[in-house]
Amino acid sequence: MFAYGCKIKIVSLLFFSISLILFCSPGVYADVYIDKMGRRVNIPSCPKRIVSLAPSITETLFALGLDKAIVGVTIFSDYPEAARAKARVGSFVNISVEKVISLNPDLIIGTADGNKKETIEQLERVGLPVYVVNPASLDDIFEMILNIGKITGKSSVAKNLVHSLRDRVESVVSQTAGLKRPRVFFQVGVDPIVTVGRNTLHNKLIALAGGINISGEELTKYPRYSIEEIIVKQPDIIIVTSMKRGGNFAQIRNKWKRWKSIPAVKNNRIHIINSDLIDHPSPRIVDGLEEMAKIIHPEISWKISAACCVLPETAATSYGSTFGNLLKVKVD
């Protein structure tokens, strides 16, 4: 009887072990997912070797606790600090296919906004699973987090993260409700001066942060503005983000100081914001919203968790991604 019981236990343990191998082996596909390019992608149930093809994807993977599974990232994937130690596979617009293949990934996550279509196709042709995201709005960012959580076995973590991010957005909105909304000029280009139009996430972030984008009716996503047009529109606040690395904020601010008839200049309300927070479609976009709200409404004693939002005056960075609308994602 004892021997028979032992046999049952051994068989059960063997079955459990085989099940783990079947469902977590990199070579076994658990499900088929449809990515944002409409492609059917076979993805293993427990990806162990993930390559990220954009900084925003790297940030999202780390936020989901997948740091040990990440084996490759793009050149400018520098957040969090641990991302700097990962192997580099090129810039997100110029991926080294050979380097990606050499890392033997069981999941590659790319973006339609930056990665070349031919790069995705090359990786697909050699049999590697490539899941493509395309976050063009705040809605999309939250949906992307949920989808990446789903395909990596981190659904619960992703849902909790999105729930937390939504709460933080709602907190900013509630704290600015009923207050006077200052007029904001948001500068993303220096020479020529470039700002953000209606169909950008930047425009939506300004509204959520309790401001009015003076170029918010522009149909062009990134319209050029002359100094004369800005003087006419009389912004109360100027927020600057550089579209290139190594921008000199002190020099930019000195240029603005010539135009004393602009309220933002007269009242010394020219600010720089860490463009990684507002240009990367990742969980840190809410850090960017919170920092923007602090700039627009300094009179509020803010109850927010953002901790690393403002760049030194000597530099600003950006990766130039494009965005869109407000969140509607529901978390079960």
Domain 135-332 indexed as CATH 3.40.50.1980: yes
Looking at residue 244, its pLDDT comes to: 56
- Between 328 and 135, name the one with better pLDDT: 135
Structure-token pair, residue 24: 């977590």
CA distance 116 to 233: 39
Looking at residue 330, its pLDDT comes to: 32
Q: Is a pLDDT exceeding 70 seen at residue 132? A: yes
Q: Is a pLDDT exceeding 60 seen at residue 245? A: no
Tell me the average pLDDT across 54-65.
Answer: 97
The band of 210, judged by pLDDT with boundaries at 50, 70 and 90, is: very high
Task: Indicate if 135-332 has the same CATH topology as 2-134.
Answer: yes
Closest listed residue to residue 209, CA positions, set 292, 139, 325, 309: 292
CA distance 314 to 258: 20
Looking at residue 151, its pLDDT comes to: 96
Angle at 200 between CA 54 and CA 143, to 5 degrees: 55
Closest listed residue to residue 312, CA positions, set 286, 277, 278, 273: 273
Looking at residue 302, its pLDDT comes to: 86
pLDDT, averaged across the chain: 84
Looking at residue 281, its pLDDT comes to: 94
Parse the chain into domains and list their residue ranges.
2-134, 135-332
Domain 2-134 indexed as CATH 3.90.550.10: no
Tell me the average pLDDT across 147-155.
Answer: 96
CA distance 148 to 162: 12
Looking at residue 30, its pLDDT comes to: 65
Contact 142, 327 (CB under 8 A): yes
Looking at residue 311, its pLDDT comes to: 33
Structure-token pair, residue 317: 């960075």
CA distance 29 to 49: 14
Q: Is a pLDDT exceeding 80 seen at residue 79? A: yes
- Between 251 and 317, name the one with better pLDDT: 251
pLDDT in tens, 168-203: 999 999 999 999 999 999 999 888 999 999 999 999
Looking at residue 242, its pLDDT comes to: 63
The band of 163, judged by pLDDT with boundaries at 50, 70 and 90, is: very high
Instruction: Kindly tell me the burial class for residue 12, based on how many C-beta atoms sit within 10 Å of its own C-beta (0-12, 13-18, 19 or more).
Output: exposed
